[in-house]
Amino acid sequence: MIRAGFLSLRAAIARPTSTDHHCPAVRRKYVLAAAILASSLGFIDGSVVAIAIPAIRTALGATFAEAQWIHNGYVLLLSALILVGGAAGDRFGQRDVFAAGIVVFVLASLWCGLATTPTMLIAARIVQGLGAAFMVPGSLALIARNYPADIRGRAIGLWAAISGIAAALGPVAGGAILTLAGAPAWRWLFLINLPLGAVALALIFARVPRDRPVIGGALDWTGAVLVTFGLGLMAYGLTVASKAAAGGIAMIAGFGGAAMLIAFVVWEGRVKMPMMPLSLFRSKVFSGANGLTFLLYFALGGVLFFLPMTLIQAWHLPEAQAGAIFLPFTLVMAGLSQYAGRLSDRLGTRLPLTLGPLVTGLAFAWLAAVLRWQDFWFGIIPAMLLLGAGLGLAVPVLSSAVMLAADDDRAGAASGINNAVARVASLFAVAGLGIVAATVYQASIAAMSMPADLVASLQAAGFGEPLAGKGLGHAAQTAHAHAMVVTMQVLAMITAVLSLMSAAIAWTTQSGRRQTVDSRQTG
């Protein structure tokens, strides 16, 4: 989620703003506070849910596929509509759209906290993603609109620092709540959004002046509908593909989603004001940057979804300790970002964008090797530190490469597209790698020397299933944990290969010399 903050920051700066910064100086601190509160909600929500998934599955009896959609329901709407959300702020006014997004997000959080079935929680998460699509891009745009250029950088720097700390500490705090209060406390991870959102709304309506729209024209709702249903059907097809009885449904959903995505591309090439200008992809730098973004964040999203589940269910670590894995890689990434930016200024984007994924791939390969050790401090933590180093080299440089590949009037759109690509990658990672997880887990259980009825029981349970209260003995628990670890090792190796592929894309598409605004590659 930190990565999304970098790209949202770039998009907010690039998006046209009114030269009349009519927010009085005494009120600007309230604008900043509201933006930090709301963006922190959006940043934390994606990562803290990964820690809560085992508790949610225990409480609601959710299947593995339903657990995937508790994550993907949110990411689907956020990734599909974030470009529309950013444009809506320009069209109808940043303050009002930002506030509307917070209202939807907070009400959906209440629905999440009160959910009594997996289906209800998935529906609530979808609505929560809808609110986030209009809330997340508005936080930085609101700062850009209300702070004059000479002090805007300091405000954005403070936003980035505090939001980064919140994103790093959120999963740790969420894990601590679950460890201390027990599995039923998962509801409070959603309900905490209510008072925080209420404070943000109070600041907005009491202290933030209403701004004037800066552009006219209609929003690209047709494109939004096509891409939402296209991505949704593709993700659904991948989610159910691991079930033998659902093969026909998976194929229908997959082909239907692909058809809608093709229709989306055709529509974007014809509509007057597209949410995704296709002309941007004529740039080798831009297309390459988005290709490596998809592979790299597919790998990252998959690991950060499946690893906490493995640590909690297979290693039997407390949620607080599992949540702590987000802290080292986030802090290392933030610390290295400024140095990576300087490196790209001197040597171009190719070297850091190649080294970053290479180091990330090494982190995932190390993770695959050490998972059987069950050593948190000398196994998992070094892998997370390496991961932070790889992302720290790549994140800020990737953002710069995307921005430099576009003309000034398309910089906001370019950044927004890259932001959406990163989120779509996470969506497909959880759905696609779920097929691998289910298949490898089933094969691992089948290969063990156990009674047939025990094999059938474990295969029916599946990857990540909480076995407490199911009447299965120690042997079943041990077999379940072993199969999960083997599965996570395979997933880690796949993500390592994907990271290496993203490094290859960077080496062949990015600039090997210092780039400026006047030296953009368009070929």
Q: What distance in Å separates the CA atoms of residue 233 and residue 257, rounded to the nearest whole number?
A: 5
- Chain-centroid distance of CA 274 in Å reads 24
Q: Average of pLDDT values for 438-465? A: 88
Greater model confidence, 219 or 191? 191
**Of 110, 102, 90, 158, residue with least CA distance to 130:** 102
What pLDDT is attached to residue 522? 41
Query: Is residue 16's pLDDT more than 60?
Result: no
Residue 212: strand, helix, or coil: coil
- Chain-centroid distance of CA 189 in Å reads 17
What pLDDT is attached to residue 194? 95
Range list of β-strands (E), 373-457: none
What is the total residue count of the chain? 523
Percent of the chain residues topping a pLDDT of 70: 90
Angle in degrees, CA 67, 70, 72, rounded to 5? 105
Tell me the CB-side half-sphere exposure of residue 207, using CA atoms within 13 A. Answer: 19
Q: Average of pLDDT values for 272-291? A: 92
Q: DSSP letters along 264-303, please?
A: HHHHHHHSSS-SS-GGGGGSHHHHHHHHHHHHHHHHHHHH
- Tokens representing 508 are 């062949």
Q: What distance in Å separates the CA atoms of residue 28 and residue 155, rounded to the nearest whole number?
A: 9
Q: What is the mean pLDDT of the chain?
A: 87
Q: What confidence tens digit (pLDDT) does each residue in 176-189 have?
A: 999 999 889 999 99
Q: What confidence tens digit (pLDDT) does each residue in 366-378 have?
A: 999 999 899 999 9
Tell me the CB-side half-sphere exposure of residue 249, using CA atoms within 13 A. Answer: 11
Neighbours of 279 (CB within 10 A): 14
Query: Is residue 2's pLDDT more than 50?
Result: no
Q: What distance in Å separates the CA atoms of residue 284 and residue 97, rounded to the nearest whole number?
A: 34
| Low-confidence winner among 149-158, 344-353, 489-498 (lowest mean pLDDT) | 149-158
Q: Average of pLDDT values for 117-130? A: 97
What pLDDT is attached to residue 11? 47
**Of 38, 141, 35, residue with least CA distance to 88:** 141
Q: What confidence tens digit (pLDDT) does each residue in 382-430 have?
A: 999 999 999 999 988 887 788 788 776 677 778 789 889 999 999 999 9
What pLDDT is attached to residue 22? 55
CA distance between the termini of the chain: 31
Confidence of residue 492 (pLDDT cuts 50, 70, 90): very high
Q: Angle of helix 64-92 relative to helix 118-146, nearest 10 degrees?
A: 30
Q: What confidence tens digit (pLDDT) does each residue in 467-481 have?
A: 876 667 888 889 999
Q: What distance in Å separates the CA atoms of residue 250 and residue 445, rounded to the nearest whole number?
A: 24
Greater model confidence, 319 or 339? 319
> In whole angstroms, how large is the CA radius of gyration of the chain?
22
What pLDDT is attached to residue 12? 45
| Low-confidence winner among 210-219, 226-235, 482-491 (lowest mean pLDDT) | 210-219
Confidence of residue 514 (pLDDT cuts 50, 70, 90): low
Confidence of residue 53 (pLDDT cuts 50, 70, 90): very high
